[in-house]
């Protein structure tokens, strides 16, 4: 078992869990945030990139597609959140 020290209550807890067994604090909050921001930066999230050299109609089309994509992804993540909160 991998043990990590909880940054909230300074108690050693099971590192395989997302939350501290003692105080319910999130163990990897910083890492989760870092990974989330890295995903956006590295473009692993498939958002359409707008090339500055693209002509205006293409830019407009890409903007439109990207907005649609963002709405689609937010719907998916909302569904995922609902599913994970109702299924136990």
Query: Given the rule CB under 5 A, which residues bind Zn ion?
Result: 6, 8-9, 20, 22-23, 25
Least distance CB 15 / Zn ion (angstroms) = 12
Least distance CB 20 / Zn ion (angstroms) = 3
Q: CB-side exposure of 67: number of CA atoms within 13 Å?
A: 5
Cβ(42)–Cβ(33) below 8 Å: no
Of 19, 22, 11, 15, the closest CA to residue 1 belongs to 15
Least distance CB 29 / Zn ion (angstroms) = 12
Q: Considering beta carbons, is residue 19 or 62 the nearer one to Zn ion?
A: 19
């Amino acid at each position: 078992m991998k043990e990590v020290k909880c940054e909230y209550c300074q108690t050693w807890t099971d590192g395989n869990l997302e939350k501290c067994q003692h105080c319910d604090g999130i163990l990897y909050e910083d890492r989760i945030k870092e990974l989330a921001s890295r995903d956006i930066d590295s473009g692993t999230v498939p958002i359409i990139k707008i090339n500055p050299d693209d002509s205006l109609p293409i830019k407009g089309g890409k903007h439109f597609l990207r907005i649609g994509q963002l709405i689609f992804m937010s719907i998916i993540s909302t569904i995922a959140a609902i599913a994970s909160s109702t299924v136990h």
